[in-house]
């Protein structure tokens, strides 16, 4: 065992009652089941273990029988891949039959069930992902993964070119795992192989690329790794556009909750609303992700044309119109740039809105108020509501009852004057 790793965490992992019950039920005289992958890796690093996966010599049919006999609930979540989810005391565990590759094409693999843990381990991507832990507490390491983990190094198992050709997504996974677990520069062999095999990325679905990119952007060393991606020509291909490293660095340094990945992507790759449209297509973003990027792009463009400094009153109007979830990342990302100029009281106001100390102002009128005042239902109501909202924003976003009545009166008088 490597001294710098958290050996006691493995013992703690095996003390978890539901997990231990599963292992005891699935380790019979003929079959063996171990904890594998991320749970072992994270435990050794002293990081939280939230999901536990296991590998077993047992076939899916036998697993289902063993689970039922022990009073667990087996769920065939990936039966075609040899995986079932076993519910023990309400906690889910994915258990997969050991496998051997029969054929690979860079995206999918044809596999057969196996019974050899070493063979199963050596078909995985990185050495730090090939560790397994037995019920007896023994750590099984067929690829020197523990040494790489202690050195905070991400290496492909065996020949890096071969591993990549089995699944080209491993190129992006190499950078993502480097960003999350490594120190220093990327492994030279892995980096060289990723560059040489980069053309294989073109056969991957945009959904798979998006999935890995978003995880990478949320990783601990995302900023350094994104620059590596750029230096080696990967980033331009992924984004199909330019990158803004300064803004990305400022966002990455100050994240304090929320959907981290999407705002990091915004800071990195969105300068205008049109960039959000391009990324939606390029990365198959969800409607919600696109909405956030588009709102970010609109507000950046707006503030870049505003010569006057932003004060607390301006922040009040901005959060009322755009929401704190957009205003905060835009101002953080552009901090220190010539525009916008943000005064100290503006930052304090933003802090108050984000913490909830001051509620975000809500427009005090409804369409029903105009109808009750005599405006006929239809497009005219929407037009007048828009005019009222613009007046409300310009006048400081007041929400008291007296102001609401006065605003309604003025809009109704304006409507009457306009005929």
d(CA 299, CA 286): 20
- The per-residue pLDDT for range 359-373, each reduced to its tens digit, is 999 999 999 999 999
What pLDDT is recorded for position 38?
A: 95
Q: Closest Cα to residue 154, out of 136, 178, 180? A: 178
Q: Is 257 a residue whose pLDDT tops 60?
A: no
Task: Supply the mean pLDDT for the chain.
Answer: 94
What pLDDT is recorded for position 159?
A: 97
What pLDDT is recorded for position 80?
A: 83
- Under the phi-then-psi rule, with left for phi > 0, alpha for psi from -120 to 50, and beta for the rest, what region is 227? alpha
Q: Is 205 a residue whose pLDDT tops 80?
A: yes
Whether residue 31 contacts residue 62, with contact meaning beta carbons closer than 8 Å, is answered with: yes
Orientation of helix 324-333 relative to helix 245-254, angle to 10°: 120
Enter the pTM of the model. 0.91
Mean predicted confidence (pLDDT) in 168-176: 98
Q: Candidates 1.10.8.640, 3.30.460.10, 3.40.50.300, 3.40.50.150; correct CATH number of 1-151?
A: 3.30.460.10
What pLDDT is recorded for position 258?
A: 61
Whether residue 206 contacts residue 237, with contact meaning beta carbons closer than 8 Å, is answered with: no
d(CA 271, CA 286): 19
- The per-residue pLDDT for range 341-352, each reduced to its tens digit, is 999 999 999 999
DSSP 46: T
Residue 109 — very low, low, confident or very high, per pLDDT cuts 50/70/90? Answer: low
Angle, CA of 198, 200 and 206, to the nearest 5°: 100
Mean predicted confidence (pLDDT) in 274-298: 97
What pLDDT is recorded for position 102?
A: 66
Q: Which of 92-106, 136-150, 350-364 has the lowest mean pLDDT?
A: 92-106
d(CA 381, CA 398): 21
Q: Is 59 a residue whose pLDDT tops 80?
A: yes
- The per-residue pLDDT for range 217-245, each reduced to its tens digit, is 999 999 999 999 999 999 999 999 999 99
d(CA 223, CA 204): 24
The domain segmentation of the chain, as residue ranges, is 1-151, 304-355, 367-418
- The per-residue pLDDT for range 182-193, each reduced to its tens digit, is 999 999 999 999
């Amino acid at each position: 065992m490597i001294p710098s790793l958290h050996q006691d965490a493995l013992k703690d992992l095996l003390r978890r009652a539901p997990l231990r019950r599963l292992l005891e039920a699935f380790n019979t005289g003929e079959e063996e089941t171990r904890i594998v992958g991320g749970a072992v890796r994270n435990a050794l690093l002293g990081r939280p273990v939230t999901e536990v996966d296991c590998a077993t010599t047992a076939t899916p049919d036998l697993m289902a029988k063993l689970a039922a006999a022990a009073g667990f609930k087996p769920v065939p979540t990936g039966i075609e891949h040899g995986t079932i989810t076993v519910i023990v005391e309400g906690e889910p565990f994915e258990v997969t039959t050991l496998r051997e590759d029969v054929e690979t094409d860079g995206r999918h693999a044809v596999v057969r069930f196996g019974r050899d843990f070493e063979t199963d381990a050596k078909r995985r991507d990185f050495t730090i992902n090939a560790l397994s832990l037995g019920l007896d507490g023994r750590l099984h390491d067929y690829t020197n993964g523990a040494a790489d983990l202690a050195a905070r190094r991400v290496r492909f198992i065996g020949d890096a070119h071969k591993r990549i050709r089995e699944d080209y997504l491993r190129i992006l996974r190499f950078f993502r795992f480097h960003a999350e677990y490594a120190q220093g520069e990327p492994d030279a062999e892995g980096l060289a192989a990723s560059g040489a095999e980069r053309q294989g990325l073109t056969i991957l679905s945009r959904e798979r690329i998006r999935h890995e990119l978003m995880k990478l952007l949320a990783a601990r060393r995302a900023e350094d790794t994104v620059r590596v991606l750029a230096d080696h020509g990967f980033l331009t291909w992924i984004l199909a556009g330019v990158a803004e490293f300064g803004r990305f660095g400022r966002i990455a340094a100050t994240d304090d909750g929320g959907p981290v990945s999407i705002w990091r992507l915004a800071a990195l790759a969105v300068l205008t609303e049109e960039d959000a449209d391009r990324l939606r297509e390029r990365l198959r973003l969800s409607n919600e992700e696109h909405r956030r990027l588009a709102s970010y792009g609109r507000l950046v463009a707006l503030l870049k044309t505003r010569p006057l400094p932003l004060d607390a009153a301006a922040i009040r109007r901005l959060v009322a119109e755009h929401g704190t979830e957009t205003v905060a990342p835009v101002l953080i990302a552009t901090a220190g740039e010539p525009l916008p100029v943000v005064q100290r009281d503006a930052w304090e106001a933003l802090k108050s809105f984000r913490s909830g100390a001051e509620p975000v102002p809500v427009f005090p009128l409804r369409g029903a108020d105009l109808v009750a005042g005599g405006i006929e239902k239809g497009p005219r109501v929407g037009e007048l509501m828009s005019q009222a909202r613009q007046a409300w924003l310009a006048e400081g976003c007041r929400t008291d009852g007296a102001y609401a009545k006065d605003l309604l009166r003025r809009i109704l008088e304006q409507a009457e004057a306009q005929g």
